[in-house]
Structure 1
Amino acid sequence: MNEDTAGNRELHGSAVVLRPTVEGDIPTLDRIVREPAVAAWWSVPDDYDDMLAILLDGQVIGAIQFSEETDPEFRHASIDIFITTSHHGRGLGTDAVRTLARWLIHERGHHRLTIDPAVANAAAIHSYRKVGFKPVGIMRAYGRDYRTGGWADGLLMDLLADELT
């Protein structure tokens, strides 16, 4: 994670804490990303260095990452996230996305954020809508469908700074 990111800071949400990943997180994150309900939407990353660990009560339950477009004409940031299956449906992903979005807007100065779940990932889309993300359009054959090995459509969603809920 470069110095312009969250660095060694912790970002506190309502229930979760986001912090840079450390070497000790890797076995847990590797196990989580291989859970069938997570692996349906994620491949195993080469490394977790550019991710923030998502903690609940001090335990790693997933990871969230972001990237930034720094060209002043197109400046924005994008977010991606995964959480262990046992914590799905509890609002923790929403809390993590909202926490990172708040930091990207208020600390990093982004006016627009994007997120791009698979069209078939209804739970993720519902979660992102609760943060304030709105559908922009369908990106056809956008990413690998890890369930079938083929291509899946993605839903481009964005959030303007004044829409953050």
Structure 2
Amino acid sequence: MPPLPVPTPVHEPEPGPDDSATPLDGKLTRLVPVTEADLDLLARWFASPGFVEHWGGVPLSREEVAAKYTGRRRPRVQSYLVLADDSPVGYAQYWYAAPAEDAAPEAAAATTGRPAEGGIDMVLHPSARGRGLGPDAARALLAHLGGTLRWRRATVDPDATNTRAVRAWEKAGFRRVEHTEAGALLLEFTFPTNSGGGHGSQRSA
């Protein structure tokens, strides 16, 4: 399959009062919160077999993309475009693992008295893979989750056969925990107490 063309640069949302409008900066990448204006781009990406090869493996409809990946699930799920040299090269998200489905993430953490935790997902455009962008974007997310949001733990579950993705997460500081029944590999990043979000400790199962 020939590589998909890399789209042109997109806008950045105006800063807002909350996390939904805060860009995250890595050394090679910038993560910009997704808006409804990015639907055309995301719909093209998620309709491509090459893009979703390790994201469920099935192209998604425009309606599915709009419902899941344009910011409509905030604050439970925060969605980002991954930029490199000001051009979008991928999609990333983090999501809260809260005790109750209807509980706001911040309220859930306050109720339990424990720092929040959750998961990260990321997929890069085929032409952007193998350039160190994935680990860089992951580190930017981890700095935000551990520093600004004071998370305790983050997990990822790449397909165990996707060795490139597994290596990328490990380069970002994740450590393998276990294989899941669905054939994925669970990796985790545990933030140290009073973390500034820079480097975490990784514990085994």
> TM bucket by the smaller chain?
0.7 to 0.9
Q: 2: CA distance between counterparts of 1:110 and 1:125?
A: 22
TM-score by length of structure 1 reads 0.82
Cα separation, 2, equivalents of 1:15 and 1:64: 15
Alignment of 1:83-162 (within 5 A): 83-140=124-181, 142=182, 153-162=183-192
| 1:5 to partner: Cα distance | 6.5
Native 8 Å contact 2:115 2:150 kept in 1: no
Distance 2:136 2:188 in 1: 17
TM-score, normalised to structure 2, is: 0.67
CA deviation profile, 1:1-25 (whole Å, cap 9, x unmatched): xx99732111111011111112332
The residue that corresponds to 2:196 in the other structure is none
| Residue 76 to residue 4, structure 1, CA distance change in 2 (3 Å) | farther
Contact (CA 8 Å) 1:25, 1:60: kept in 2 or not?
Answer: no
Larger Rg: 2
Tell which deviates more after alignment, 69-78 or 121-130.
69-78
CA contact (8 A) 1:111 1:161 kept: yes
RMSD over aligned Cα atoms: 2.2
2:46 aligned with 1:33: yes
| Cα shift at 1:29 | 1.9
CA contact (8 A) 1:29 1:62 kept: no
- Are the counterparts in 2 of residues 77 and 113 from structure 1 also a CA contact under 8 Å? yes
- With over 3 angstroms needed to count, the CA separation of the structure-2 counterparts of 1:86 and 1:40, relative to structure 1, is same
- Give 1:38 shift: 2.4
Q: Which residue of 1 aligns with 2:68?
A: 47
Give the number of aligned pairs: 152
Structure 1 position 40, deviation (Å):
1.4
Aligned twin of 2:13: none
Structure 1 unmatched runs, 5+:
143-152
- Decide which structure has greater strand share: 1
- List alignment gaps of at least 5 residues for structure 2: 1-15, 72-77, 100-111, 193-198
Identical-pair percentage: 26
- One-letter code of the match for 2:83? L
The 1-side partners of 2:88 and 2:36 are apart by 12
Matched, 1:15 2:15: no
Q: Aligned partner of 2:141: which letter?
A: L
